[in-house]
Chains A and B, each alone.
Chain A
Amino acid sequence: MTDGARHPIVSLRDVEKFYGSYHALRGISMDIGEGEFFSLLGPSGCGKTTLLRTIAGFEEVSSGHVLLDGQNMDGVAPNRRPTNMVFQSYAIFPHLSVAENVGFGLRRSGLAGDEKARAVDEALAMVGLAGYGARSAQALSGGQRQRVALARALILKPRVLLLDEPLSALDKKMREQMQSELRRLQRHVGITFILVTHDQEEALIMSDRIAVMFEGEIAQLATPQELYRRPVSREVADFIGVMNFLPAEIRMGSGTAVEADIAGLGPAAIDSAQCPGALRPGRAEVGLRPETMTILPEGAPGEGHVAQGVVAEQSYYGDMTYYVVRLDGVDQTVTLSMKNRIGRAVLEPGMPARVSWDPRALLVFSG
């Protein structure tokens, strides 16, 4: 779903934000489509929350424009924007009951009392909290507070729902459950969701598209698959998932073919389409994902590209084992992951390992 073809509901035009001399947002321009699940992903301090708050209206842009559904939002207060937000702390009103929290924004809706009550019940049912209305908001668990915050925002039928790291305070099990629930909910209501997260796995699982941000700039805007398979820079590749980087020497071949001599792995012919940046002969780095390499069983015939090494570390995850293998002849290690199949022994540190790898999985980043 890579469409900029969808009707854009949020449009950012050269958005800049300064706090004093600190440049928090640098020339952000993008369109977010109607009904899209969009994530702003980046390390802390990259400006993703600032950008979300700019869309919500809590921060004024220093220059540039935020357009919501084609309307310029310059100087429009948060209470007059067609957006609602789920705050990181959930911001549940402690002096109100669950139902009063969920119905908070309906005061100006013009609905009659019983219509409001029905809307609140529906919203609570939608997030799986039917029957919780009379409870005190303070008696809720973290996951329940999150659901109340969602119901409170969605009851107003915003054009855009903004979520500021909504899952970061939950434990792992709860987080995974909420990830799929949020996704299902978003498909159900069809509202655009913009999620801020520092968790790349979360962004990959949930999003239609992801904008990766570094230091106030968008480093890459792509679908999860594109982002994982075709990161545009070494920085993005490093941030998304695990990526091994090895120094290499690049020689240009004929046509689209490129010759790379990779430290510890040896020579390989690769296609120039595997080089996201400008391709230059000379020193470069190649990136390899852990799951694209395997350790061959002892005595198995080594076909194709095989490198020799020794297991340096091993981490057992149950379904997978992650190995750090020190490659022979160079001071380089690679991390690779192996599925724990029946009959496949888990190797211990110090054991020799023959690493099979595939040049088609390589990415080349020219220095």
Chain B
Amino acid sequence: MDRDARRGLLLISPTALYAIALLAAPLAAILLFSFWSQDFLEIDRTLTLKNYREALTEPLYRLLLWRSLLISLAVTVVTVLLAFPIAYFVSFHVRPGRKALWIFLITIPFWTSYLVRVFLWKVILGFNGVLNTSLIGIGVIDEPLTFILYNANAVVITLAHAFAPFAILPIFVALEKIDRSLLEASRDLGESAMSTFFRVTLPLAMPGVVAAVLIVFIPTIGDYVTPRLVGGPDGLMIANMIQTQFLRLNNAPLGAALAVVAMVMVSVVALAFIWLNRRWLGGDGR
């Protein structure tokens, strides 16, 4: 090992140790647990696939895994679709001196706690909430809407709002990096403003969109605070079940197996996205 390599290792070692102690080790422990089994109060340490069989065949777990995947995908799609126009507006229509201010304003929701924001959505979406009373007040509806709280819709609305800034920022950065003369070149070569967007702007913004998708999708599939607070029984997700297995039912091995299954699902979807992105960009993987 030469001097540079040694110095490099020395430089990253605090971070590496931290990552090993707090990420790799717990992951390994979860993985190991998932192959053990719970025998009343004891843990049976013979290796078995029993938990995985249960996780993949028990209808309730399958439902929760499937629902988590669907809700996360819905949140991702909604968030990215809402984030793109905002990022586009700030990048293309705000004058350069004002962009930093706009980005700053977009991050303002982060000044309050995540929990507070979720509770506020309860206030907004509730049976006698802000939305329902206002809509009744102006005569749009006669009865309070009930499909907006304590179900999957509420989870999607709340999570989409919570993750919007995370999606706006990478898309904004990708749009900022686009050389504006490329758009003029496209116009010059005969394309309208609309087709220029689809042939030049969007493909070049894809790295930002993919980053946004991953940043939103990966954490939402494991979220358990929002489904617990606004999801009701129909909005519960797999993370709620993992929590229940670990803390209420005292079945850590099954909880671990469910966690591993969820992790594999996330990895598969994330890898698919990265692969698609590379295909789009002609294999150079930027």
Chain B interface: which size bin? 20 to 34
Chain A residues with CB below 8 A from B200, complex form? 93
| Contact B184–A78 (Cβ < 8 Å) | yes
| Contact B284–A93 (Cβ < 8 Å) | no
> Number of contacts between A and B (CB, 8 Å)?
63
- Tell which of B185, B281, B282 touches A91, judged by Cβ atoms closer than 8 Å: B185
CA distance A9 to B122 in the complex (A): 67
CA distance A89 to B179 in the complex (A): 9
Say yes or no: A85-B282 contact (C-beta < 8 A), given A79-B190, A95-B204, A108-B190.
no
Chain A residues with CB below 8 A from B153, complex form? none
Chain B 242-286 interface 0/1 with A at a Cβ cutoff of 8 Å (1 = within): 000000000000000000000000000000000000001110100
Across the interface, name the chain B residue whose C-beta is closest to A89.
B181
- Tell which of B187, B280, B282 touches A79, judged by Cβ atoms closer than 8 Å: B187
Chain A 105-126 interface 0/1 with B at a Cβ cutoff of 8 Å (1 = within): 1011000000000000000000
| Contact B189–A84 (Cβ < 8 Å) | yes
| Contact A85–B185 (Cβ < 8 Å) | yes
B191 within 8 A of A: yes
B203 within 8 A of A: yes
A147 within 8 A of B: no
Say yes or no: A105-B282 contact (C-beta < 8 A), given A91-B185, A93-B182.
no
Chain B residues with CB below 8 A from A97, complex form? 282
| Contact A85–B284 (Cβ < 8 Å) | no
| Contact A79–B188 (Cβ < 8 Å) | yes
Chain B residues with CB below 8 A from A84, complex form? 188-189
CA distance A56 to B188 in the complex (A): 8
B192 within 8 A of A: yes
B240 within 8 A of A: no
CA distance A104 to B191 in the complex (A): 9
Interface-centre pick from A78, A95, A104 (highest chain B CB count, 10 A): A95
B interface SS class: helix
B38 within 8 A of A: no
Chain A interface: which size bin? 20 to 34
Nearest CB on B from A303, distance (A): 58
Chain B residues with CB below 8 A from A58, complex form? 184, 187-188
Chain B residues with CB below 8 A from A96, complex form? 282
- Tell which of B181, B189, B203 touches A156, judged by Cβ atoms closer than 8 Å: B189
Nearest CB on A from B178, distance (A): 9
Say yes or no: A79-B281 contact (C-beta < 8 A), given A89-B181, A93-B182, A95-B204.
no
Known: A78-B184, A104-B186. 8 other contacts (CB 8 A): A56-B188, A58-B184, A58-B188, A79-B189, A91-B182, A94-B204, A107-B191, A152-B185
Using a CB–CB cutoff of 8 Å, the interface residues on chain B facing chain A are 179, 181-182, 184-192, 199-200, 203-204, 280-282, 284
Using a CB–CB cutoff of 8 Å, the interface residues on chain A facing chain B are 56, 58, 77-79, 83-85, 87-89, 91, 93-97, 104-105, 107-108, 136, 138, 152-153, 156
Q: Can you list 7 A-B contacts (CB < 8 A)? A: A79-B187, A85-B185, A91-B179, A93-B185, A95-B281, A152-B189, A156-B190
